[in-house]
Amino acid sequence: MVSFEAVELPRVSFPVGLALVAGVAIALRLLWRSDPNKPPMLSDVVPYISNTYQYMGNMDRFLARAKEAVKLKNIVGFHLGPKNFFIITGPQNIQALFRTSPHIDFEVFLLIAIESLWRASPEDYAKFKNDKSGRSATPAKGCENQPESKRYWYTLHRVLHKYLETTQYATMLARHYQRFFSEYLEQRPQGEWTEQTIMGLMKYDMAKAAIVASLGTHLFDMHPNLLDMAWPYDEVLVTLLFKPPRWLFRRAARIQDNFHAAISKYFVDANERFDWNGPDADADWEPIFGSRYFRELVKWMKASELSLQTCAGITSTTGIMGLNANSVPVCAWALMELVQDQELLGAVRDEVSTAFTTDPETGKRTLDSQKVLTLPLLQAVYVEVLRMHVSMNITRAATKPLEVEGYTLPAQSILQAPTQISHYNESVWGVEGHPATEFWAYRNIKYVEEKNPETGETKQVPRFEMRGRPTDFFPYGGGIAICPGRHFAKQEIMLSLALIVSKFEIEFLGWEKFDGSPSDRPPKEDSKYAGAAAVPPDRDMRVRWKRIW
């Protein structure tokens, strides 16, 4: 069993323990002198405890301290419970972290999710835990004789890579997404002003279109209120990830139980209905399992002989939550930025209008989705929102002693590269008048001269040009573990924005809390999601909008 020792906080008689530890700590401090061969460490007022508490409970404060520390050296260490943690930054170190190396392991963390989020049965958990053959086609040293059917990491990676990550399948998924999302938008009355909240739009219409495109319509036929179960689950995922004792988080555990039970029912029913030898087995899309991607994932689950409990867990978390938990808040932030700045909204709308073709006879408009992906300003908005609102602790473990910044870190050290440090690096992203802490749609736009070949006139045209390098911007992680959904996510987010701004006139009405009551301030990031990918806004935006076509 994996338990994340780092969160096993002392539960009994805390003040007494604290006093004792503090005494010992002060004594040790008097003896301890900084060692030039050891990496700098974040000071721990109460060793092993105060940093742990802050890390778990006050991320902003902890990160601020870490940010200060890495100004001097691109590494800073701390203890999280009994574990050695190191926060690393800087282009070379980030690059090293993403490199495939037998000295760096990331499966340790996936195992935590396999246990706490997939809730894999013990036998299935053991399959992953004992598979040391890696994700590459060539098995790791010492595992050459392991049959392919028992190479769980590799075979899963192969499915995700082929059916989710390649352009062909990502684009197919996006095409179906576009079809469903347009359909939902067109349910709004044409030519009539109505009210809408942005998070409401994203959490329901966008998420539903993504689920239907990916997993089919049958799931919603069985569970019309699926999203009302999914979003409360989203709120407790981070808590559940570290597997707190069930008695402490009863509500969270119950939400998870309900969701997994509903998905389990769907999984059984879908498998009974589906004809694996019929023509739909390799269809682009069909109602029962949806996309080729999800159908192949189901096939892999069956071939790996995973229990129903595990299959339901994979479908619930990787299949449904992973699909929406990041794209939805990212798209919501982007739309909120556009609505707040009507000039920017107009500029994006003009740009998007160049990606439509209109049939001269029927007047029917078609969005050229490939063209949408190349629009500079829309792409710049997408990147700016990812930069600001993806907060991911990219985490790897050192299996052997590891050299970083000239220091040798002990084996079993945990290395973390928080996107929040690199994505806010002023020397990379800051522009006069537009610090990295601020949203600025034009941060990654460069104006270049373009000559009209006929008239010879030149004019300034915008180009998308990323200000940072891949080591300054890694919202999707990196290396072999990089998010396989990133191409689909990009298309999904850009297409959604393109459809919304071109189909609707939109005006800002006000900020509100999620219970519908007014808020006197705009949203901040909802810190309970920090470190686990996209961070949603803690307030919603109410708009009035009118569908034009």
Ligand X SMILES: *[C@@H]1O[C@H](CO)[C@@H](O)[C@H](O)[C@H]1NC(C)=O
* Contacting residue, 4, 39, 55, 312, with ligand X by CB under 6 A: 55
- DSSP letter (8 states) at residue 346: H
Instruction: Answer yes or no whether residue 430 interacts with ligand HEM by CB under 6 A.
Output: no
Is 483 annotated in some ligand binding site?
yes
Find all residues with CB under 8 Å of 280, minimum gap 6, and list them: 274, 286, 288
Helices 342-353 and 376-389 pack at an angle, to 10 degrees, of 130
Q: Which stretch binds ligand HEM (CB under 6 A): 86-94, 305-313, 335-343, 388-396?
A: 388-396
310 sits in which H/E element:
helix 308-314
Nearest approach in angstroms of CB 389 to ligand HEM is: 9
Q: Which stretch binds ligand HEM (CB under 6 A): 248-256, 265-273, 360-368, 389-397?
A: 389-397
Restricted to residues 72-101, the positions that interact with ligand X (CB under 6 A) are 74, 89-91
Q: Which stretch binds ligand HEM (CB under 6 A): 25-33, 201-209, 260-268, 479-487?
A: 479-487
Nearest approach in angstroms of CB 241 to ligand X is: 7
Q: Which stretch binds ligand HEM (CB under 6 A): 300-308, 436-444, 478-486, 520-528?
A: 478-486
Structure tokens at 426: 């002023």
Instruction: Answer yes or no whether residue 66 interacts with ligand X by CB under 6 A.
Output: yes
Instruction: Answer yes or no whether residue 110 interacts with ligand HEM by CB under 6 A.
Output: yes
User: Which residue number is nearest to ligand X in terms of Cβ?
Assistant: 531
Q: Which strands make up the sheet holding 540-547, listed edge to edge?
A: 193-197, 540-547, 504-512
206 or 436: CB nearest ligand X: 436
Q: How far is residue 381's CA from residue 439's CA, in Å, rounded to a whole number? A: 9
Selection from 154, 479, 109 nearest residue 300 by Cα: 154
Q: Do residues 372 and 352 lie in contact, with contact meaning Cβ atoms separated by under 8 Å?
A: yes
* Contacting residue, 238, 253, 281, 509, with ligand X by CB under 6 A: 238
68 or 450: CB nearest ligand X: 68
- Choose from ligand HEM, ligand X, none: what does 89 bind? Cβ within 5-8 Å by kind: ligand X
Q: Are β-strands 414-418 and 83-88 bridged in parallel, bridged antiparallel, or unpaired?
A: parallel
Instruction: Answer yes or no whether residue 418 interacts with ligand X by CB under 6 A.
Output: yes
Instruction: Answer yes or no whether residue 322 interacts with ligand HEM by CB under 6 A.
Output: yes
SS3 407: strand
Burial class (CB within 10 angstroms; exposed 0-12, middle 13-18, buried 19+) of 432 = exposed
Structure tokens at 29: 């401090």
Q: Which residues pair with 286 in a beta bridge?
A: 290
Instruction: Answer yes or no whether residue 164 interacts with ligand HEM by CB under 6 A.
Output: yes
Instruction: Answer yes or no whether residue 468 interacts with ligand HEM by CB under 6 A.
Output: no
Find all residues with CB under 8 Å of 84, minimum gap 6, and list them: 77, 409, 410, 412, 413, 414
Selection from 111, 115, 66, 2 nearest residue 415 by Cα: 66
In the complex, the residues that contact ligand X under the rule CB under 6 A are 55-56, 59, 62-63, 66, 70, 74, 89-91, 238, 393, 418, 421-422, 425, 427-428, 530-532
Q: Which positions lie near ligand HEM, rule CB under 6 A?
A: 106, 110, 157, 160, 164, 318, 322-323, 326-327, 330, 390, 392, 394, 475-478, 481-485, 488-489, 533-534
Binding region: 483
